[in-house]
Amino acid sequence: MADQMMAIAILLPVAAGFLVLAVRNYYVRNVIVIATAVVLIANSILLSLRGPFTYTPGGFDWGLLITVLDYAILIFYLYVGISLRNWLVLIFALTQILPLAYFEFVMKAHIEVAPAFVVDHLSLVMTMVISIIGSLICIFALRYMYDHEHHAHIEKSRQSRFLFWLVLFLGAMNGLVFANNLVWLYFFWEVTTLCSFQLISHDRTKEAIHNAARAVWMNSTGGTAFILAIIYLYATQGGSSALSMQSIIGGGIQSSIAVLPIALLCYTGFTKAAQMPFQSWLLGAMVAPTPVSALLHSSTMVKAGVYLVLRLAPVYAGTYLSTVIAIAGAFTFFATSALAVSQSTGKRVLAYSTIANLGLIIACAGINTPLSIAAAILLIIFHAISKGLLFLCAGTIEHQIWSRDIEDMEGLAAKAPLTTLITAVGILSMFLPPFGMLLGKWIALEAAYIVPLAAVFFVLASTLTIVFWTKWLGRLLQVLPKIERPFEKLSLSYSVPLWTLLTGIFVVGIGIGPIYQNFLRAATNDVVSGNQIIAVGLNNLILTTPSFMQRDILGLFPVWPLYLILIVALLMPLLLIRVKPKELRPVYMCGEQTGAIDTDEWLAEADRKTKFQLGGYYYQGTLGEKRINPWANAIAILLLVIMLGCGVIVL
């Protein structure tokens, strides 16, 4: 039963993708995507309820198929590199295809890894995140792409193609988190890179293609490191049995020798998670239609990067590599949070915030205690929900004001109250108590003291996080004393994903105690122990539970009082107190306004009527990209070199 469900998780999106590609009718296509989404969501929940299992598909030479497809993808990159005259793409396609060919034809590698798939609790958490949030984003994309093409006056619809890659992405991600065979994992890894290339370049503008090419070559350096790690493991650790993720994390190989391949694999994770200095590919990906960003940032792609680093945590536990990973992640968290302050484009703020939070998650993996691993898993979940919601909000806003600029969002509360309300809750959920992201940060800070430098970066980054979110929120919520307007109407394709994710923030946030007890505790256990006790039981390892969760066991549950505070502080005044129209006054402008109370006109010099305009501060001079990037990238590259150096020195 479980194997069929796993097949559904991986292959259904592929099948649905091809079906969508073939169907040209808008409504039929919608039905297919929605049905796929519903099945995927239900499937992932049922799979999680069923629990961990392993599986090796038989009856067909899947390995051969995967090898053929590997080469097909790499040859496609060669083609992309040549046709765009982008030598970086070409070079890093070659650095993958040549070692791969060497591995298979010269070394005559015979790969037989059993089981091919191992689904543990971490995989289950990931597949829930991918299937549920990813599916919602696909539903959102239905209407979004329709509006997008409508607005751009595109004659020949390319929505089918777009949805094909979008849906396929989910299948590849599910495969990635289930795979135990490293060669297969590499294949799914490449498929996600391919999907992201196709989706980023979707609009076919020069900028889009250029940025997509950058995403490919940066991720290809990661792919190269992945192949080198595979070859190294195969050559030094006794053949294909070393290519099983389980044997690697379970200590089946001599870990003292295996530091170099692990460092290489972590490097691969860094590229995909867009850690500094690779942040530019994820920022460039912003040119794509917003559902792509939502998918890349919340549930797929970048989460694959953190998944790999997190998965490998037990192997590098206690090594210098671990400390360097913690510091590198924490540094990215800090530097990108500072960069986010200077950004005036909504999607770029979101992008920097994503990179920052991924840095936090990676730092948690590097800190490498049960507590920090628990924090990492919590952050993956909460970040996926909140960031998915925020990108969908950014898309909805974009289709209402046709701009991505934060300054253009001034006073959105008056124009589109419902969208603004949802966005505001989304933003609050990113950095304030009682929401999940903050709980994650709280636990991370508690765990971080082991690596004090990381803890200091956490502190600085958390503060900068407050600054850039509050600035944006301030621009959104600024309103003239106007009469209330009714909520705007949103298409169902927009509102269903938005409301679901919004509900998700609260359900997962409030229910975090029970969810942790029943589900995440096991996932943490699996990561920390390297799945060694998968069959025995989960209580062999004593987990240090965060203080608020320990008290949960005693029946005193201190997360809900925080929500109570939120209700008393914001929700109750919002619902109970009504400002009467006669109480409204114009703002203080020394009496120079002209006309009604909701005027924003005043008498400027020579009594000329002028609309007064307010703008946000962006601190370009101190925190701009030009000022920070050279330093930050240099430090980040240095940290990467040290990270890989850790692997070499141990040799």
Partner 1 sequence: MMIKQFLFVLVILVGAPVVGGLLFGIDRRITARMQGRYGPPIIQPFYDFFKLLGKEHIAVSRLQFVWIYGYLVFMIASLIFLVMKSDFLLLVFLLGFAGVCLVLGGFSTKSPYAHFGANRELMQILAYEPVLLLLAIAIYAQNGSFLISEIFKQDKPLLFTLWPLFLAVLYVLTIKMRKSPFDISTCHHGHQEIVKGVTTEYSGPYLALFHLAEWYEIILLLGIISLFWTNPLWVGILIALAAFLLELFIDNITARMTVGWMVRLSWSVGLILGIINIAYIYYTKGVS
- At closest approach, how far in Å is the CB of 280 from partner 1? 26
Helix (H, G, I), strand (E, B) or coil at 288: coil
Closest to 453 in 3D by CA, of 357, 367, 369: 367
Query: In this complex, which beta carbon is closest to partner 1, that of residue 348 or of residue 441?
Result: 441
**Residue with smaller CB distance to partner 1, 72 or 466:** 466
Nearer to partner 1, 38 or 587 (CB): 587
Residue corresponding to tokens 């120079």: 592
CB of 432 to partner 1, least distance (A): 5
Secondary structure (H, E, C), 301-314: CHHHHHHHHHHCHH
User: Smallest distance, Å, CB 13 to partner 1?
Assistant: 39
**Which H or E run includes 609?**
strand 609-611
State which residue, 62 or 619, has the beta carbon closest to partner 1: 619
User: Which residue lies nearer to partner 1 by CB, 96 or 337?
Assistant: 337
- Of the two residues 313 and 367, which places its CB atom closer to partner 1 in the complex? 367
Instruction: Output the smallest distance, CB 11 to partner 1, in A.
Output: 44
Q: Measured from the CB of residue 597, what is the shortest distance to partner 1 in angstroms?
A: 8
d(CA 529, CA 534): 9
Closest alpha carbon to 304 in 395, 438, 170: 170
Long-range residue pairs from 374-377, CB within 8 A, at least 24 positions apart, any chain: 374/443, 374/516, 374/520, 374/521, 374/524, 374/543, 374/545, 374/546, 375/440, 375/441, 375/443, 375/444, 375/447, 375/546, 376/306, 376/310, 376/444, 377/122, 377/125, 377/310, 377/520, 377/523, 377/524, 377/527
At 400, is the secondary structure helix, strand, or coil?
A: helix
Question: Are the beta carbons of 177 and 300 closer than 8 angstroms?
Answer: no
- Whether 391 and 290 have beta carbons less than 8 Å apart is answered as yes
- Residue 492 or 570: the one with the smaller Cβ distance to partner 1 is 570
Distance CA 644, CA 262 (A): 9
User: Given the complex with partner 1, which of 29 and 475 has the nearer CB atom?
Assistant: 475
Token pair recorded at residue 651: 């040799």
Closest CA to 621 of 338, 342, 346: 342
DSSP secondary structure code for residue 266 in this structure: H
Q: How far is CA 320 from CA 90, 313, 384, 458, in A?
A: 34, 12, 30, 20
Q: Say how far apart CA 47 and CA 52 lie, in whole Å.
A: 8
Residues 285-304 as b/e (b if ≥16 CB within 10 A, e otherwise) read bbbbbbbbbbbbbbbbbbbb
Instruction: Give the nearer residue to partner 1 in terms of CB position, either 64 or 483.
Output: 483
Strand partners, 616: none
Q: What is the DSSP letter of 557?
A: -
Q: How far is the CB of 480 from partner 1 (least distance, A)?
A: 5
**Looking at beta carbons only, is 386 or 493 nearer to partner 1?**
386
Say how far apart CA 240 and CA 474 lie, in whole Å: 56
Tokens of residue 331, six digits: 């540094």
Residue closer to partner 1 by CB (options 72, 564) is 564
What phi, psi does 537 have (nearest 5°)? 155, 170
CA dist., res. 347 & res. 344, Å (int): 9
**Residues lying near partner 1 in the complex (CB under 8 A):** 411, 413, 432-433, 438, 442, 445-446, 448-450, 452, 455-456, 459-460, 462-464, 466-467, 470-471, 473-475, 477-482, 484, 547-548, 558, 562, 565, 568-570, 572-574, 577, 579, 583-589, 600, 612, 614, 617
The nearer residue to partner 1, 22 or 456, going by C-beta atoms, is 456
